[in-house]
Structure 1
């Protein structure tokens, strides 16, 4: 079973060989051997508040607790806290060993061997998804919250659900699911809940839909001092992770940003991309540097080893090399909703359910309450209980 370990340094994965016999202490040992964090300084919790800067206490997992007794499954997130800069200090590179002259000849490495070991990064000319179409209401509801409530001051993200047209190699996006998250100017940390995502997947499946992409906004105060750029290194890393997890060739990443003209007029723009094949491959193979500093150039992604860009060996790749533009359009989808959207500042209440049923009482019950009211009904009853 694979568990996702979320820390302040990013998301990583640890494989637990036998869940039936493993305990929290076993997981601590696996984290120490795979991620280099000593078990003695680890604090594990299923509560995402463990990673927040506030002093709110989160219940730590008892090392003796069997993993099988916890509400976790394959792909679940476990939150890990440890002293700041611990892994940065441990990851400091050692000086390269002295190599006497002539060692190249003794190894008998050929030009073909050198070429085979190189990883080349080049622009991908054609996407696997020719077009992405957004439901107007879903797109409007997402950007309206970011514009009116958040004022584009922090990032917001979500997953796109809809249909894949295999014949035309296109996707139609009909609704957006926004998981629990904490946004800042430069990052959107997702506190993903497997149980909640399972409900969303069940509803989508009942509608004949599936997850087809990822969407995020860019804050107006994001780090810019160098020049304009389409995606930052953090955004490329997160988008590559989501596309690798998505598992379909047509997966799309949508970017929503606010453009302000010289006269002060502001327009909200949607753009769609796919991360290139080489980008997803480099992510899966662990080439990306996943830690970011204040002085890092947001226009580039840093690699752990040299790659070839053009004719030059480098560890910094312009993010534009990883982006493959996708044509974007809109449509009027089959769904409508007047409910407050979950995981936002606005709380979902029973009154919202009553108002919805009053507005749709002239419709058959199935049409007026399902699937539009399904998520609200679950949340409202849970809140009432």
Structure 2
């Protein structure tokens, strides 16, 4: 299929092998065939675009501004004319310019995208460092060490704050319902429970900042940093979190110089190209039994170095993040949700009695306790209000105190 493109340089042609491409893909083709960078292009089916004199005038032409719109939905077909305004200068190759270059090979859309999708190592993370609340990190690793013996995988969602400089502070870890095996971790997401978690985080002045999971002792014997399944899960959660400083933390056992096993934390970000590949659906999500776990498989060729390949070493997608620790504002003395032993109201009663010597707000300054209480409160009003008392360490209103004490005494 051929479409005609009129710009200030005259009428040129672009060859398209798929009539259902999007505007973003069309711009990529124009960059390749007509040598106009995507970032400099404004396209329109309205010829008045070429009469626009200022950037403000050009910005009014929005009919082709959505990159995901298929060109066919705009009536663009073989022989159609579209109008191109661009910034900068270029050398016009003339009407006989061929996208195949000097060798004459036809370049398909898939070929072109693959040629532009280069997988390289990202040297610097967007996150300056990740600092973990000592108590929250210990509560997580002690459970997988003492109760699960690192025999099955365990995961959690990290919440905290992000500084303007890109420093991530993790202050609590929410452990959703889940099923773990030696090789895989399935998070059984509960939207109702996560709504409570988000309400608590809002009241605490915190947000979702990362994903933490464990590797098992059997995985420690294998030759990879993260498996292909772990890369996929980490990329999915980072893409969902939509935070450029998002951190993925890995907890595992490592043998020290004396031959003993130590619990070891590592922190990463999935690279920008990894997230782009995930969002655009390049990853093969089903791996065969004979697939190498240290390689991520793509649906189409990508360029790694000078090689076109469908298999990418997982380490290309990892950007190392420095780890620190700190003492955060919350305690972790209360039983943690969704573990083998369920959390009951009797735990609330015991906790309040054990903490009787401190202020009431201090007694409830524990995310996991707040999550239990949230099940009995209004998620839109009461939960953030109670969490804000904890954040500011201000007196808890008498009504909330009476409610909490009555819940505890009813156990």
Deviation string, structure 1 residues 349-375 (Cα, Å, up to 9, x no partner)? 222111111122233323322555322
Deviation at 1:260, TM superposition (A): 2.4
Indicate if the aligned counterparts of 1:186 and 1:223 stay in contact, CA closer than 8 A: no
Once residues 228 and 301 of structure 2 are traced to their aligned partners in structure 1, the CA distance between those partners, rounded to angstroms, is 17
RMSD: 2.6
Instruction: Establish whether residue 328 from structure 1 lines up as the match of residue 323 from structure 2.
Output: yes
Instruction: Establish whether residue 195 from structure 1 lines up as the match of residue 192 from structure 2.
Output: yes
Structure 2 gaps of 5+ residues are 1-99, 377-406
Q: Which residue of 1 is the match for residue 395 of structure 2?
A: none
Question: Relative to 1, partners in 2 of residues 1:111 and 1:186: Cα closer, same or farther, differing over 3 Å?
Answer: closer
Indicate if the aligned counterparts of 1:348 and 1:379 stay in contact, CA closer than 8 A: no
Indicate if the aligned counterparts of 2:153 and 2:184 stay in contact, CA closer than 8 A: yes
Question: Relative to 1, partners in 2 of residues 1:271 and 1:107: Cα closer, same or farther, differing over 3 Å?
Answer: same
Once residues 116 and 278 of structure 1 are traced to their aligned partners in structure 2, the CA distance between those partners, rounded to angstroms, is 14
Once residues 340 and 358 of structure 2 are traced to their aligned partners in structure 1, the CA distance between those partners, rounded to angstroms, is 30
Once residues 311 and 246 of structure 2 are traced to their aligned partners in structure 1, the CA distance between those partners, rounded to angstroms, is 25
Match of 1:359 among 354, 358, 377: 354
Larger gyration radius, structure 1 or structure 2: 2
TM-score by length of 2: 0.63
Deviation string, structure 1 residues 191-244 (Cα, Å, up to 9, x no partner)? 0000100100100110000000001100111385xx521100000000000110
Give aligned pairs, total. Answer: 278
Deviation string, structure 1 residues 254-305 (Cα, Å, up to 9, x no partner)? 0111012475400011000000000000000000010122211011000011
Match of 1:342 among 307, 319, 337: 337
Instruction: Establish whether residue 377 from structure 1 lines up as the match of residue 373 from structure 2.
Output: yes
Structure 1 gaps of 5+ residues are 1-103
Q: Which residue of 1 is the match for residue 121 of structure 2?
A: 123
> 1:160 aligns to what SS in structure 2?
strand
Indicate if the aligned counterparts of 2:331 and 2:365 stay in contact, CA closer than 8 A: no
State how 1:31-46 maps to structure 2 within 5 Å. Answer: none
Once residues 233 and 301 of structure 1 are traced to their aligned partners in structure 2, the CA distance between those partners, rounded to angstroms, is 5
Indicate if the aligned counterparts of 1:214 and 1:254 stay in contact, CA closer than 8 A: yes
Q: Which residue of 1 is the match for residue 157 of structure 2?
A: 159
> 2:210 aligns to what SS in structure 1?
strand
Deviation at 1:377, TM superposition (A): 3.1
Question: Relative to 1, partners in 2 of residues 1:188 and 1:109: Cα closer, same or farther, differing over 3 Å?
Answer: same
> 2:356 aligns to what SS in structure 1?
coil
Once residues 215 and 337 of structure 1 are traced to their aligned partners in structure 2, the CA distance between those partners, rounded to angstroms, is 17
TM-score by length of 1: 0.67
Once residues 276 and 337 of structure 1 are traced to their aligned partners in structure 2, the CA distance between those partners, rounded to angstroms, is 32
Indicate if the aligned counterparts of 2:179 and 2:186 stay in contact, CA closer than 8 A: yes
Q: Which residue of 2 is the match for residue 142 of structure 1?
A: 140
Indicate if the aligned counterparts of 2:139 and 2:332 stay in contact, CA closer than 8 A: no
> 2:321 aligns to what SS in structure 1?
strand
Once residues 354 and 327 of structure 1 are traced to their aligned partners in structure 2, the CA distance between those partners, rounded to angstroms, is 40
State how 1:131-280 maps to structure 2 within 5 Å. Answer: 131-166=129-164, 168-222=165-219, 224=221, 227-261=222-256, 263-280=258-275
Once residues 120 and 314 of structure 2 are traced to their aligned partners in structure 1, the CA distance between those partners, rounded to angstroms, is 11
Q: Which residue of 1 is the match for residue 65 of structure 2?
A: none
> 1:147 aligns to what SS in structure 2?
helix
Match of 2:306 among 299, 305, 311: 311
> 1:346 aligns to what SS in structure 2?
coil
Instruction: Establish whether residue 288 from structure 1 lines up as the match of residue 283 from structure 2.
Output: yes
Deviation at 1:379, TM superposition (A): 5.9
After superposing the two structures, state which structure 1 stretch, 249-258 or 352-361, moved more.
Answer: 352-361
Indicate if the aligned counterparts of 1:307 and 1:315 stay in contact, CA closer than 8 A: yes
> 1:120 aligns to what SS in structure 2?
coil
Deviation at 1:249, TM superposition (A): 0.7
